[in-house]
Amino acid sequence: MSENGNPRIGVFVCHCGTNIAGKVNVPEVVEFASHLDSVVVAKEYKFMCSDPGQELIKQSIKDHGLNRVVVASCSPLMHEPTFRGVTASGGLNPFFFQMSNIREHVSWVTEDPEQATKKAKALISAAVRRVALHEPLLKKEVPVRPEVLIIGGGIAGIHAALTYANSGKKVYLVEKEPSIGGHMAQLDKTFPTLDCSACILTPKMSEVGKHPNITLLTMSRVEEISGFVGNFKIKMRKKARFVDTAKCNGCGACWENCPTTVTPAERIIRKGKMIIKTVEKPRPN
C-alpha cells in the first residue's frame, strides 16, 4: 500500500485539564470524530502532550495500523513539534500529522459550550480531511546565505542593519531616497524626552556608512523577490546618480548642480489644529 493510498486516521482529543474540557464536550466530539471518513480510532486523554498521552498515540498507531494522526489540542506553536515527534516514533513520516487547535481557537474564545463543541467538531473534521491528503515529506539540508536585506533606511532599518551587522552578518540596506534617515532626519527634537533627534540619528547614519558588513544601496528599490527562506533572489533597480560613487568625497558639487530637489521643498506639519509650514531654502544657482 502506498502511504497515501488508503488513509487510516487516528484522532486524539486532548482535555488540556479543564482548558478544553471545561467548555468543549470532549466525549461528544470523540464520538463524532470516530464516524468521520477514514477514521479508524478516536480517543481522548487529559493531557495528550504528557508521556502517557504520547504513549497512547504511539500504541494506537501500532494497534490499529494507523498511517495518519490528528491531535485536537492547543496551538501548533506550542506542541506541533511534540506530536510530529510522536508520529515519527510511531514509525510514520512526521508530516502525516495534523494538529487542530481547539483551545486558543475554540474553548478559550467561545462562551457557549454548545457552540464550542460544534466548532471543535468542524475543526477536527477539516483536519481529518486535510491529513488524508498529506504527502510524506523529507527533511533535507540546503546551503543558505546568511545575509540580510533590509528595505527602508529609516531609524528602524538603520538600527536593524547595525544590530545584524554587529552580530557578524552581511547586510544590504535598501533606501529609495538619496539618503537614509527617514522621518527622524526631519525632526528637531523627539517626544517625550526632547532629545535632539540628529544627536541620536547621525552617529548611527555614519556608522552604517562605514560599517564593513553593511552595503548601503540608496536611490534603490526592490523590484522582484523570488526564491525561499535562506535562498531569496532579489532584483533591484538602482536609479542613475551621475556620480562615480567610488570617487565621491562628499564635496557637494553635485548637490549644487542638481536640477531637482532631493527633499520636498515644502513640508506641512499638523500639530492638533496648528499647521506649521516649513519651506526649504532655495538651492544656490
Ligand X SMILES: Cc1cc2nc3c(=O)[nH]c(=O)nc-3n(C[C@H](O)[C@H](O)[C@H](O)COP(=O)(O)OP(=O)(O)OC[C@H]3O[C@@H](n4cnc5c(N)ncnc54)[C@H](O)[C@@H]3O)c2cc1C
Give the residues lining the site for ligand X (CB under 6 A): 151-157, 174-177, 182-184, 187, 190-191, 221, 269
Q: At what angle do helices 155-166 and 197-210 cross, to 10 degrees?
A: 50
Decide: helix, strand or coil at residue 76: helix
Which single residue is written with the C-alpha cell 554587529?
166
**Is residue 16 left, alpha or beta, with left meaning phi > 0 and alpha meaning psi from -120 to 50?**
left
Question: Are 58 and 89 a contacting pair, CB within 8 Å?
Answer: yes
Tell me whether residue 151 or residue 234 sits nearer to ligand X (CB atom): 151
Whole-number Å distance between alpha carbons of 171 and 149: 6
Question: Toward ligand X, which CB reaches closer, 78 or 160?
Answer: 160
**Among all chains, which residue has been given the C-alpha cell 542593519?**
161
> Measured from the CB of residue 193, what is the shortest distance to ligand X in angstroms?
8
Tell me how far, at minimum, the Cβ of 192 lies from ligand X, in Å.
7
Please answer whether residues 37 and 68 qualify as being in contact, where contact means their C-beta atoms are separated by less than 8 angstroms: no
Nearer to ligand X, 26 or 158 (CB): 158
Query: Which phi and psi angles does 14 have, rounded to 5°?
Result: -95, 140
Q: How many residues does the chain have?
A: 285
Cβ proximity to ligand X, 104 vs 177, nearer residue? 177
Residue 272, C-alpha cell as written in the block: 492638533
- Cα(100)–Cα(11) distance, rounded to whole angstroms? 10
Nearest residue to ligand X, using CB? 154
Q: Give the Å distances, CA to CA, from 15 to 97, 98, 202.
A: 19, 17, 56
Burial 8-46 (b: 16+ CB within 10 A, else e): bbbbbbbbbeebbbebbbbeebbebbeebeebbbbbbbe
CB of 263 to ligand X, least distance (A): 11
Least distance CB 183 / ligand X (angstroms) = 4
Q: How far is the CB of 203 from ligand X (least distance, A)?
A: 16
